[in-house]
Amino acid sequence: MHWVVKVLLQQARVGERTTYQDNPLRMSQVLFDTKHEGFGSLVNLPSNSNAVESALLFSAGLHEFVCLLGPTGWGKSHILRATAHAVKRETGVKIPIETTGAWVETLARSDSPLPLFLDDAQIALSNTRIRQRLRMVLERRIRGRKPVILAFTSDGQSRLLKSLLPNSQKWHISSIKLPTGSEKVALVQAVAKTQGLKLPDPLVRLISKRLVLTGGSLVGALQRLALVQTDWTSSCGILRACGVLDPLFCGEAAWDLRDHTHEVLFKALEQFSPDVNREEFILYMMHQILGITEEQIAGYFGISSCRVYGLSNQITARVTSGELLELRQMCCRSLVQSFTSSA
């Protein structure tokens, strides 16, 4: 008998009220549950579609034994939580997600007919004692057709993994791969929407390229933007956003926002000969437009923070008076264009 039906019948016998959805479970209900999940949203991408599909079928009772593999920070735990939440909606029973290393010490609920959710199961691959205890439980559950879903941090299916899973032909093993460039863009757009952020396309592409992207780092970066403002679509929004996110940026080659800004603006200012020191005006742009901290600017130019503050205020006064307003607008356009092309 289907395990979901068993649970429903058990609850009916003891008079418990069971709540469930009349509509069939949709893929989006597994992927998105921002109210309950720490990870704001997990987009259904080609790189994770197999894992999401396996979890969906598990929550519907169509897969009994599922193993999720993937790199750190790309949604394995979120998929487990979403699946457990879907099972709760179907049966009314809240099922805990166990951390494998701690769970094997007690083997709590190891013989329960309810699904067993185990996260961080990769510890069993490097610990013989844990591997033996876990395999013993898995063997019993397979004989009793009691569902299990495991999540491993792993880049692939190792020999140890295959040796851990008894009756390997009964398991549905699905991998989460690192997303491609276009998938990262889609991920940033989707998570930004859940955070209530309006981001221009160049900023989305820049974040996907320059941020060391994991689920946690992306949500943290976008929450950092949301603390400042929610609408970044103004003409200079991308510039201020870059300043806010600068501590998180690095990308493939340790990209430095200060270096980039200095290089772009130094060339742009060569075309003009206003009565202004180019280095001081670049300092002003870093401080007032990008919002880079005085300490970071001071370290870059080799001066004190007080000197940064003073020079920035001097240029600000000249911009406010209109004397250097056109120059600032030109520099903003040059920077925006540089970010757009680099993204």
pLDDT exceeds cutoff 90 at 319: yes
* Structure confidence by residue, pLDDT tens digits, 4-22: 444 433 443 433 333 333 4
Own/partner long-range contacts of 225-234 (Cβ < 8 Å, ≥24 apart): 225/195, 225/197, 225/199, 226/195, 226/196, 226/197, 230/196, 230/197, 230/198, 231/197, 231/198, 232/197, 232/198, 232/199, 232/200, 232/203, 233/198, 233/199, 233/200
Task: With cut-offs at 50, 70 and 90, classify the pLDDT of residue 342.
Answer: low
pLDDT exceeds cutoff 60 at 125: yes
Region 26-41: what's the mean pLDDT? 38
Asked if residue 118 lies in contact with residue 149, where contact means CB atoms within 8 angstroms, the answer is yes
* Structure confidence by residue, pLDDT tens digits, 180-192: 888 889 889 988 9
Asked if residue 196 lies in contact with residue 226, where contact means CB atoms within 8 angstroms, the answer is yes
Comparing 255 with 244, the larger pLDDT belongs to: 244
Asked if residue 79 lies in contact with residue 21, where contact means CB atoms within 8 angstroms, the answer is no
Region 41-70: what's the mean pLDDT? 86
Helix (H, G, I), strand (E, B) or coil at 103: helix
Helix (H, G, I), strand (E, B) or coil at 153: strand
pLDDT exceeds cutoff 90 at 315: yes
Q: Which of 188-192, 210-214, 326-330 bottoms out in mean pLDDT, i.e. has the lowest?
A: 210-214
Region 123-136: what's the mean pLDDT? 93
Residue 99 has a pLDDT of 96
- CB within 8 Å of 212: residues ≥ 6 apart: 248, 250, 251
Q: What angle do CA 107, 105, 116 make, to 5 degrees?
A: 30
Comparing 28 with 106, the larger pLDDT belongs to: 106
pTM: 0.66
Mean pLDDT of the chain: 83
Region 134-156: what's the mean pLDDT? 92
Region 10-38: what's the mean pLDDT? 38
pLDDT exceeds cutoff 70 at 157: no
Question: Residues of the chain with pLDDT > 90: what percent?
Answer: 53
Task: With cut-offs at 50, 70 and 90, classify the pLDDT of residue 275.
Answer: confident
Region 293-317: what's the mean pLDDT? 96
Residue 251 has a pLDDT of 52
Residue 13 has a pLDDT of 40
Domains of the chain: 3-175 (3.40.50.300), 181-342 (no CATH)
Comparing 324 with 2, the larger pLDDT belongs to: 324
Q: Which of 42-56, 77-91, 255-269, 277-291 bottoms out in mean pLDDT, i.e. has the lowest?
A: 42-56
pLDDT exceeds cutoff 60 at 141: yes
Residue 15 has a pLDDT of 39
